[in-house]
Amino acid sequence: MYSKLSFTGELTFFQKLRSLDYWLLFCVLLLGIISTISMYSSEGGQILYYTKSHFIRFSVFFLLMLVLSFLRPSFWHAIGYLFFFIVMVLLVVASFYGVKASGSQRWINLYFVNLQPSELMKIAIIVCFAKYYHRIQITNVNTLQGLLIPIVILIIPIVFVLSQPDLGTSILIALSGIAVVWLSGVKIKYFFYSFLSLIITAPFIISLLKPYQKIRILTFFNPERDPLGAGYQIIQSKIAIGSGGIYGKGFLKGTQSYLEFLPEKHTDFIFTLFSEEHGFVGSFILLIIYAILIFRIISIGALSRSFFGKLFCYGFGTSIFIYIVVNMAMVLGMVPIVGSPLPIMSYGGSSMLATMIGLAIVMGCRIYNKELIA
């Protein structure tokens, strides 16, 4: 299918290599280094399991990303639905036969590693929607059929992820999907109506939530109601960040983390650890790195000639932005605690893999930016 695709004149390998986005690669490497150093700090200044494992994963997946970068966008376009279908099957398998841990069932045991399909779904949904909107005519976007199909595609994985249960990931999948839908030109009034109906049905939805999820929401509005229980994470995280000050407590001197007041410091609260040790200045620099990363992804999208490429880059850039904002807002006590990793920084193989695949597709769009997809 893609042999006759709209592109003449092959690039040499070196041309391809040269047309890689080095700003983007630089930011990703920088984040990889910062995250490894943070892992090292989270283990009290020792190279133990998490540091090693995180570094190895980062290195492997970074190389994988470089390799996958040479795949054309048309390839991703071609396998778009298949990719979504495979991830969906994995998701169903995980939901029914997966490994149970701390009250939820979201992993598939692959013997050498546990795979979390819901993380991959974050990327798969964008690929899938990008293909869908690439193929549909602009006039059909706002028709009933054109609206219903993406809603159904979006709701199916969300239902499975919610049932695992994993509120954080399902929210992120939903937001990523909605972002792509928004970008592709669905009328603003539909967003407005759905938002309105969401508010109206909110009490009903809340009644469907698990007790611990309800508690988390209540705790968000008043962390002091249970300072040793559910509010503990928010309080300790705010203390850690606030006590960091302008320049931070210094590398390996974050007392909140090394004295173990900070929960889940490898994963969701890695930013808290970083912020405590490196202060406002460090956190600001980290935010700048992420901002550059997102800016580069959007720019690549802008330069991409194919609509698929554009939509994927914009969608992926926006998703990365959403992950970052949800995670940071959470550890800063601005939104309730939901499980949501910080891209690249947090410990977690599936999340890292998903991010790297996304980046590889973006990079492919960069190399083959002149390629058109029929």
Partner 1 sequence: MISSGDTKIRKAKVISRRVFIISLVKVVIFTGIVGRLFSLQVKENKKYLTLSDKNRLREWKLPPIRGEFVDYFGNIIAGNMEVYRLHVIPEQVENFNYLMTRLKTILDLSDNEYSKIIKKKNKQKPWETIIISENLSWSQFSKLNLYLHELDGAKPVLSVSRYYPYKENFTHVLGYLSRASTSDIENSESIKKNYVPGLRVGKIGLEKTFESDLIGTNGIQRYEVNAYGKRVNQVDHILGKKGKNIKLTIDAEVQKYVNELLIGRSGSISVMDIYTGEIIALHSSPSFDPTLFLHGISNEDWKSIRENPLKPLLNKTVSGLYSPGSTIKPIVALSALENDVISPEMKVRCTGKIELYGHRYHCWKEKGHGYMNLREAIKQSCDTYFYEASRKLGVDRLNVTAKRFGLGNNVFDGLFPDEKKGLVPSTKWKKNNLGVGWVLGETLLTGIGQGYIQTTPVQLCLMTAQLANGGFKIYPRLTFDNNYEDYETVKHKMFQKTIEKKNSTIGLIETSKELIFSAKNKYEILFRNQENIKFVLDAMYGSTNEVFGTSYKSRIEDTKYQFAGKTGTAQVKRITEEARKLDLKTEQIPYEERDHALYVAYGPYKHPRYAMSIVIEHGGSGSKAAAPIAKKLFKFVIDRHELREIIRKRKLKNI
Which residues of the chain form contacts with partner 1 (CB under 8 A)? 135, 137-139, 179, 182-185, 236, 238-246, 255-256, 259-261, 275, 279-280, 283-284, 287, 291, 294, 298, 301-302, 307, 310-311, 314, 318, 321, 325, 328-329, 332, 334, 374
Q: Which residues pair with 109 in a beta bridge?
A: 114
AA identity, residue 341: P
User: Quick one: 17 or 138, whose CB is closer to partner 1?
Assistant: 138
User: Measured on CA atoms in the order 248, 252, 257, 260, is the torsion positive or negative?
Assistant: negative
Minimum distance from residue 302 beta carbon to partner 1 (Å): 8
User: Quick one: 238 or 370, whose CB is closer to partner 1?
Assistant: 238
In sequence order, what are the residues at sequence separation of 6 or more whose Cβ sits closer than 8 angstroms to the Cβ of residue 158?
170, 173, 174
Minimum distance from residue 65 beta carbon to partner 1 (Å): 23
User: Quick one: 83 or 321, whose CB is closer to partner 1?
Assistant: 321
Minimum distance from residue 371 beta carbon to partner 1 (Å): 15
User: Quick one: 60 or 332, whose CB is closer to partner 1?
Assistant: 332
61: phi then psi, degrees, rounded to nearest 5: -70, -30
Stated as kind and residue range, the H or E segment containing 109 is strand 104-109
Token pair of 116 as six digits: 């979390």
Which residue is it, tokens 């003449």? 8
Alpha-carbon distance of 333 to 347, in angstroms, equals: 21
Minimum distance from residue 88 beta carbon to partner 1 (Å): 23
358 touches 186 (CB < 8 A)? no
Minimum distance from residue 97 beta carbon to partner 1 (Å): 36
User: Quick one: 90 or 311, whose CB is closer to partner 1?
Assistant: 311
AA identity, residue 360: A
In sequence order, what are the residues at sequence separation of 6 or more whose Cβ sits closer than 8 angstroms to the Cβ of residue 227?
235
User: Quick one: 52 or 238, whose CB is closer to partner 1?
Assistant: 238
| Among the listed residues 244, 220, 246, 243, the one whose alpha carbon sits nearest the alpha carbon of residue 231 | 220
User: Quick one: 74 or 116, whose CB is closer to partner 1?
Assistant: 74
Minimum distance from residue 293 beta carbon to partner 1 (Å): 12
Alpha-carbon distance of 354 to 333, in angstroms, equals: 26
Minimum distance from residue 79 beta carbon to partner 1 (Å): 17
Token pair of 283 as six digits: 């956190």
User: Quick one: 23 or 260, whose CB is closer to partner 1?
Assistant: 260
Cβ neighbour number for residue 292 with a 10 Å cutoff = 15
With H, G, I as helix, E, B as strand and everything else as coil, classify residue 304. Answer: coil
Minimum distance from residue 336 beta carbon to partner 1 (Å): 15
Minimum distance from residue 241 beta carbon to partner 1 (Å): 5
Alpha-carbon distance of 256 to 331, in angstroms, equals: 14
Crossing angle, helix 49-68 and helix 349-367, to 10 degrees?
Answer: 20
User: Quick one: 240 or 353, whose CB is closer to partner 1?
Assistant: 240
